[in-house]
Structure 1
Amino acid sequence: MKKRAAALTLCLALCLALCLALAPVTAEAAGSVYITAAGNDILPLNDATMPFLSDGYLYVASSIFTGQVNKSLGVAYLPSNVSNPNLCILYAVNNRSLMFDLNGNFVRDSDGNVTSRGAIRRGGEIFVPASIVAEFFKLEYSMTPLSVSAANEASYGALVWFRQPNFGLSEKEFINAAFSQIAMRYEQYLREQAPEDSGAEENPGGIYLPEGDGKSVYLCLKAGDSTAAQLDVLDALNAQAAFFCSLEFLENQGDLLRRMTATGHAVGLLADAGNAGQTVEEQLETGNRLLSQATMGKTRLVKLQNGDERDRQAVQEAGFSCLEAELDWSDSGLPDSVQAENLLRQVSSRRGDVRIWLGGAAGAAGLRAFLTAAAQAEDRCLALTETP
């Protein structure tokens, strides 16, 4: 039953990856699915805390202003307490606060102003008007229409996005950048909504899930134009990988390098033995200097290109560890779920841990399909260590 449910939700998620798009929302369909974002983060999606419209006002759950949301927006949630169970408070570090009185249906701010648009209690959650919160705490928010599709059935709603002023991305740019996170949250939501499967364990479609032996899988990628999207997928699914970087990437992509190291991924160097302008040793020295400038750290991981055994021996004698992958998928890449299934079959057919060289051809959809299926097969996708 677990296999069948996993394959079904993965199939739905892959449909989403193809169909998630900006779209107009009709009056009848509006509000079916609201996905909430704060800063860089797509928040968990569930019915209990999903935003809704009431009398033309958008309401969001007050409980979202905790944890990472508190850090990114600077607004915190103080839940009702025993002394005053009908008071909900949002506050900022500068001592500015909004106090929602649930009995009186009004909100009072720390400047003494009172507004009649109060909070709404729905189930066990207290929802507050998004416009009042954003205006008082000097935040920006938007509600961008979305159409999400799964199993060929479209559902309409919106992305509700809170951020600090001058965030630097438009709504459409943010949706494109957070594509994988949105897909992951929607997949989780669909899985929670699906009824318990009482049928047989046959696989109705999607990725084939072989029996796993709990092996470690080390995904190794060439850093490039797709790296940000790949990081979104990896981080959303709590998986790690190793990114091998050219000198150009190391020089120009400091933000992505810092993100890699901060979220547990490994960083390696790309070295080309066929480079007539620099020796391999010079390339490695320059690469670590650039990496140190960006992250205050260095690496011993190397992916050697166009080299022979003598070149690899020289790299190892210089104190570096050359990537020797059991599976080379740099030609096939990982563009879609079909290749993800093929790769998973090869991984499952091998004994012990597996290092996979994907090169620069791993698409976000294919990578997410593989990671989800590998997790169901009880394999772990980890960052490569520096040991040979």
Structure 2
Amino acid sequence: MKKRAAALALCLALCLALAPAAAEAAEAAGSIYITAAGNDILPLDDATMPFWSDGYLYVASSIFTGQVNKSLGVAYLPSSVSNPNLCILYAGTRSLMFDINGNFVRDTDGNVSFRGAIRQGGEVFVPASVVAEFFHLEYSVTPLTVSTAGGASYGALVWLRQPNFGLSEKHFINAAFSQISMRYEQYLRERQPEEVGVENPPGGVQLPSGDGKSVYLCLAAGEGAAAQLDALDACGAQAAFFCTPEFLESQGDLLRRMIATGHAVGLLADAADPERTVAEQLEAGNALLARATMGKTRLAKIQNGDERHRREAREAGFSCLEAELDRSDSGLRDSAQAEHLLRQVSAQRGGVRIWLGNAAGAAGLRAFLSAAGEAEDRCLALTETLP
């Protein structure tokens, strides 16, 4: 994460930045993640700052103490000398037991998920979505632009809370403005003596050098999913697979492979379905995904819909894909189409989300990934903050 030792501005402005450019700049330049639990804005510290890994947001397990424990009802039991690789979060008789070495988590109902904890430095981080789902909490990630005299920094507010808290993300940020400002100013003051330099971004992932773009390939999971995964994995690339209920119900092995290899999984809903609303389709899809992988998603692609249907999905807690490039009709099946797509990507500013639908063949995908690699473009998994 890029060191920010620029002169501190006494006048600190924070504003909602829901445009994709803010999220893209956050990823490219290093981002500041401010954590809130209930009413409280937590101290800002590099050692406990949330980060993304394989499309999942991770938060420090040690935050579930003190006031956070009182606000959320979830407590933290740190690793013991007898078992230094076990981290436990609990509420009453319910608990999540994270095996750090085994990279899995087991709950008191006997369920096992392979979305485990990550040890970074001396801190153990846990996936926010797994914790929120099990303990019936709500969480959101709201992009922020933090403006100082040294320029604009990009990041997000990670907010954990009890259901029916009573405030939207926007209203909460407005109400907590002074707390957020105070935490950020304190963070900059503590970092002021440090030399300006570059270190690995959160999660320990070293981004390749160069001026390439961040490219988010989005596919409709279907019969060619296994071959597409082979092509992506061979090139060290990632993508997002949006799945129908039929795929979610029948392709558990492929779903688990997607998640294990760092790809994102989203839900595909059809607004033209005469029997179920978009929200009902997404809820059913997440139930099928949880059955197959012990996890859920907030990514969604609405087909045959309009802004009304996308608003319905957002109100249900989903982040809807709105791609800069739609290639679902023109396809990506050979090297000529791959070359044309790369030219389109080069003409875009910032990160590029590409909806390929069912139109990507393994050969065309391999050709595009090879050409993108030569151009120093990075094919990454879509995350919740990007749409």
Q: TM-score, normalised by structure 2?
A: 0.46
Greater Cα radius of gyration, structure 1 or 2 = 1
Q: TM-score, normalised by structure 1?
A: 0.46
